[in-house]
Structure 1
Amino acid sequence: MLRHILKVANSIIFKLVLALLFGLFAGKYLPQEVQATLYSISLSLKDILIFILPFIIFSCIFSCLLSFKSDVFKFIIVLILCICLSNFISTIIAFNVSHLALSHLDNFSNINQEGHTSLKPFWNLSLPSLISNNVALFSGLVAGLIFSKFRNKRVDVFADKMRDSVTLFLNKAFIPILPIFALGFIIKLESDGVLTQILSSYLPLVLAIIITQYVYISLLYFIGAGFNIKQFIYFVKNVLPAGIMGFSSMSSMAALPLTIQAAEKNTGNRDLSRTIAPATVNIHLIGDSLAIPMIALVIMSTFGPGFPDISTFLIFSFYFVLAKFAVAAVPGGGILVMITILETQMGFTPEMSGLITAIYILLDPIITSANVLGNGAFAILTTKLFAKKAAE
């Protein structure tokens, strides 16, 4: 029992909740100098992350594409296109659901900052941008595709080392200080007088995310089952343990053995299941593709630049889908690589980035569970596709 309590107390979510509660109830009582210092630290941590983000993006997307061990280049290309299409459809669903929900909810637009002074940081690092994230993204994509076609053992080893270095940095250096990263922005929001209003207004968002995720994923299983209810129940029963594991561990990788087992049962194709499930575990992310845009759109409508038009969102979706290949397999990894895209394509401020990071991590168990269940449905649908192509 004590061991379980210590494990919970050491979790990133527990620490983030503490940071949120501290910022909400005690932040305003801190001296102005302390508030400004914490805000400056958060901004500095964000600047450091943005500075090294191109390396993270290149390393993750390059090693991800090389992790496809199959030598069949056509198979890899088709699978990548299926992943991109699925993630893109999820983002479009998120846009439409958010647009519909926001048109019926007034409390998101009632947040204001009247009567509050804006907190100013003591310093700002303003680190230079050595290479743009877009260049890193496309370079990793092109290099990954080339070396997945023309295999080289030294390149594979180099890619693995880059991936391990990024994972080590995030797990040992950045993830542990995420509560501090979020705390400064939480105190900034409380200083501006919007944090309490945000927390009281965002419950409908959480409910909308949960309902959208599980309704859409259920639809995918229905399609995979040929709209046969008995077959649908069989599919869900097999994949549910993997979804529970994803929820409790906040890790799609930890749930992978159960995901593979469920895919084998649901598809009846052992070889394809053992190829598709591991290859897509960290890049086919329905939970992320629905949750992140929905949270972002609500934040924009709350105190950002406003709800974007469809052309702006489509450009964002393009970069968003590609950036999914650069997501690191760590808690909160789904949002870390998206911060720059949100700031460059959607007009996010540092405070908005801090807020979406905090909300995302708090919802991480739900989002990860949806990712795992979505991967189970993806395995069924793509196995049917590849089996049909092989039969032609």
Structure 2
Amino acid sequence: MTFLRLPLLAWIVIAIALGIVTGPVMPEWLGNVFLTYNSVFSGLLGFSVPLIIIGLVTPAIAELGRGAGRWLGLTAAIAYASTILAGLLAYAVSRWIFTPVMSDRSLEALTEGSGSGLTPYFTVASSPSGSPTEIVLPPALEVMTALVLAFVVGIGLTAIRPSILLKAAVEFRTVIESLIRHVIVPALPLYIFGIFMDLARSGEAVDVVGRFVVVVAVSFGLTLVVLLLQYAAAGAIAGVNPLRALWNMRDAYGTALGTSSSAATIPVTLESVKRNRVSDAVAGFVVPLCATIHLSGSMVKITCFSIAILLITGGPVELGSYLPFILMLGVMMIAAPGVPGGAIAAAAGLLTSMLGFGETEVGLMFALYIALDSFGTATNVTGDGAIALVINRLARGRIGEDSEQQDAVRT
């Protein structure tokens, strides 16, 4: 029973190790079974992505309407800018460090037709290709259609209080979170095992792991750099010692390492923020809001990992082609903090539609993201404290006054 309760990261590590070890000696018939499983999982994920977008993004945007007047827009703008700047920093560092290491395009096993000699017994695809062993499972909506629909409905619901549709959206979010938590995430280790088993048969697995150890190390280092920059800026604006303010957030950082959820860490983040002499009104407003919309750590990880994969596979990494992905990713991830590993599930649609990632690339993104999931979450919640310092300096107690005035008007 203790073995079954291992954290997801441990299962991912076990799956990668077993895939590398058993791949070369795997019987062909059994290898085909695992590739069939991977095809089914990939088809289910592709079908689920539009539902994940609608189920998570719609209520997340609708609930942003609850706030303290104009401070909502200011806080959201600062959080979004922080997330995008973190992505741009990760992009620049990744291009600089990873290009000489990753760009020889030698890992052909990451593309279609790896040469392992294995083929699934049947495949699940989103569009027909004419194969007699193919099951077509098209998604209900295209990814961008689902995203636009989520924004239209979510923004519309901010003006309707109370709303039966909002209640339905929140309940649908519960269904989608359950799908992620109880179906997609538990199925990941076996999916990743199949990927590395296939890579091992083609002789590429060790090279893949060796290269991505560098990516993981750089990503972790960048999360620390992002925190130092955030608190340097917040300290300059709020007139406080940035290193002391960052140290005061240590409990929030540590708790997030254990929970891998910004939402679950909110009570500890609130107490940590108040140690920096942020008012109760500002802390109670900024921390829950930023737990939903501020994901600089998650942005760093996804940017570093996706750039590395693009360099390996020879995909486009120019800023002009990659910047739209960063901008959209900053919006997409506002729905993710409630579910451990939810950010990469929400980003899967953009990875396929905007970066052209296939089944293997998306599987590697899941494995890499989960490897640093808790550290990215810890960066997210600790960075919320920097935003709280800025808003506290700008507001000077006016957030509480604005809320009281709005309540008086409604009464």
Task: Tell me, in whole angstroms, the C-alpha distance in 2 between the residues paired with 1:109 and 1:383.
Answer: 49
Corresponding residue of 2:235:
225
Corresponding residue of 1:334:
343
Shift of residue 389 of structure 1? 8.6
Partner of 2:388, secondary structure, is helix
Shift of residue 196 of structure 1? 0.6
Task: Tell me, in whole angstroms, the C-alpha distance in 2 between the residues paired with 1:187 and 1:215.
Answer: 35
Query: Structure 1 residue 63 and structure 2 residue 71: aligned?
Result: no
Task: Tell me, in whole angstroms, the C-alpha distance in 2 between the residues paired with 1:51 and 1:131.
Answer: 9
Letter in 1 for 2:9: I
Letter in 2 for 1:65: I
Corresponding residue of 1:195:
205
Shift of residue 361 of structure 1? 0.7
Query: Structure 1 residue 383 and structure 2 residue 392: aligned?
Result: yes
Pick from 100, 109, 117 the counterpart of residue 104 of structure 2.
109
Partner of 1:252, secondary structure, is coil
Task: Tell me, in whole angstroms, the C-alpha distance in 1 between the residues paired with 2:335 and 2:325.
Answer: 15
Corresponding residue of 1:125:
124
Structure 1 portions without partners, runs of 5+? none
Query: Structure 1 residue 89 and structure 2 residue 85: aligned?
Result: yes
Greater CA deviation, 112-121 or 308-317? 112-121
Pick from 317, 330, 343 the counterpart of residue 321 of structure 1.
330
Q: Quickly say closer, same or farther: Cα 1:272–1:21, change in 2 above 3 A.
A: same
1:262-305 Cα distance to aligned partner (Å, 9 max, x none): 22232522112111111221331111111111111111112x13
Q: Equivalences for 1:272-283 in 2 at 5 Å?
A: 272-283=282-293
Between the two proteins, the alignment pairs up a number of residues equal to 385
Is the contact made by 1:243 and 1:372 (CA closer than 8 Å) also made in structure 2?
A: yes
Query: Structure 1 residue 164 and structure 2 residue 160: aligned?
Result: no
Letter in 2 for 1:21: A
Task: Tell me, in whole angstroms, the C-alpha distance in 2 between the residues paired with 1:9 and 1:253.
Answer: 22
Task: Tell me, in whole angstroms, the C-alpha distance in 1 between the residues paired with 2:72 and 2:168.
Answer: 21
TM-score if structure 1 supplies the norm length? 0.90
Pick from 39, 60, 76 the counterpart of residue 80 of structure 1.
76
- Taking every aligned residue pair, what percent have the same amino acid on both sides? 20
1:303-357 Cα distance to aligned partner (Å, 9 max, x none): x133511111012122212211232622221111212211221121211111111
Letter in 2 for 1:125: V
Q: Quickly say closer, same or farther: Cα 1:281–1:7, change in 2 above 3 A.
A: farther
Task: Tell me, in whole angstroms, the C-alpha distance in 1 between the residues paired with 2:362 and 2:144.
Answer: 19
Partner of 2:147, secondary structure, is helix
Corresponding residue of 1:249:
259
Letter in 1 for 2:58: F
Partner of 1:125, secondary structure, is strand
Task: Tell me, in whole angstroms, the C-alpha distance in 2 between the residues paired with 1:118 and 1:385.
Answer: 62
Structure 2 portions without partners, runs of 5+? 126-136, 402-411
Q: Quickly say closer, same or farther: Cα 1:328–1:177, change in 2 above 3 A.
A: farther
Shift of residue 48 of structure 1? 0.9
Corresponding residue of 1:50:
46
Is the contact made by 1:287 and 1:371 (CA closer than 8 Å) also made in structure 2?
A: yes
Partner of 2:122, secondary structure, is coil
Q: Quickly say closer, same or farther: Cα 1:10–1:106, change in 2 above 3 A.
A: closer
Corresponding residue of 1:41:
37
TM-score if structure 2 supplies the norm length? 0.86
Task: Tell me, in whole angstroms, the C-alpha distance in 2 between the residues paired with 1:349 and 1:275.
Answer: 40
Letter in 2 for 1:378: I
Q: Quickly say closer, same or farther: Cα 1:100–1:28, change in 2 above 3 A.
A: same
